[in-house]
Structure 1
Amino acid sequence: MGLFDNAVPGGNVTKPLLIALGALLVGKMLSGKSTEPAPAEPQAAPAPTGGASADGGLLGGLGGLLDRLKEAGHGTTADSWVGTGQNQPIDANDLGRALGPAVIREIAQRTGMDEQELLKQLSTALPGVVDKLTPGGQVPSHRQVASAFND
């Protein structure tokens, strides 16, 4: 799987978890629609509308996810995933509050997973996946994130 090798503790990335990560980070790729490159300028995370946003996953791609975490008071944690140091963990309940119930419900429906199990797996996987997607501490473009899921 390339990107996901050693990104998740134990290296176990199940198909539902891959779908969940893709829904957060790439969106349209997983809903059967074509992916579109993100605009060059960063944008604020859009409110969830029950579907993927035009510029990435349910929260506006990787940048939108990081913004949502920062707005929820988990900026230091999110920054540790992007930075080159050790990744700080995030509690499943804290992640759920940051993402919001509409996003969690949408991803749970897409994956067929229970919401609590989904949050548990995402809270374990996201630090390593975001770290792998941001080598050198730089947030990649939506196209680069989408191509990582296609590898």
Structure 2
Amino acid sequence: MGLLDIVGGLLGGQAGGNSQNALLSAALEFINNQPGGLNGLIEKFKAGGAGDIIGSWVGTGENQPISADTLQNVLGSDAIGALASKFGVDPAQASGILAQVLPHVVNHATPNGEVPADGQVDTSNVLGTLTQLAGLFGGNKPA
């Protein structure tokens, strides 16, 4: 199952490709809008006791999963609530979606384990990479 399929499934299969790309875009926007961008998000995870989790996303090894509850504790109810209202879903659903999407976004935003110096994620590059990977692993492209 591809990343975009996961996101679609989390939304009850209601989301089409544009909605799924909008969710990925929102995750990227969320990162870039953090004070300090990705660096600020990393610090927030460290302060929330989840530094090892985000460290796995940034590093070159396997990504550790994060639960929706842990993510909500790290990011705060206000941040999750804002994302939920933007997409018309409840906060629990938003944190579940973000818990599935954020590891992939951070992973692809930090090639070779390198965080962009300014902390800002290149949204078009990351979206393109994630969309290509979702197509390959989701079986949407011929072998």
Calculate the TM-score normalised by the size of structure 1.
0.65
CA-CA distance at 1:19 after TM superposition: 4.2
CA-CA distance at 1:103 after TM superposition: 0.8
CA distance in 2, matches of 1:144, 1:19: 11
Where does structure 1 lack aligned partners over 5 or more consecutive residues?
1-8, 27-56
2:27 to 11, 21, 39: 21
CA spacing shift, 1:105–1:60, aligned 2, 3 Å: farther
1:67 aligns with 2:59: no
**For 1:41-120, what aligned pairs fall within 5 Å after superposition?**
57-120=33-96
CA distance in 2, matches of 1:137, 1:21: 19
CA-CA distance at 1:107 after TM superposition: 1.3
Calculate the TM-score normalised by the size of structure 2.
0.68
Where does structure 2 lack aligned partners over 5 or more consecutive residues?
8-19, 129-143
Greater Rg over alpha carbons, structure: 2
Counterpart position of 2:107: 131
What is the count of residue pairs matched by the alignment?
Answer: 113
CA-CA distance at 1:149 after TM superposition: 6.0
Counterpart position of 2:15: none
Q: Deviations over 1:4-53 (max 9, x none)?
A: xxxxx623151452243033123xxxxxxxxxxxxxxxxxxxxxxxxxxx
Give 4+ residue runs of structure 1 displaced > 4 Å after superposition.
Answer: none
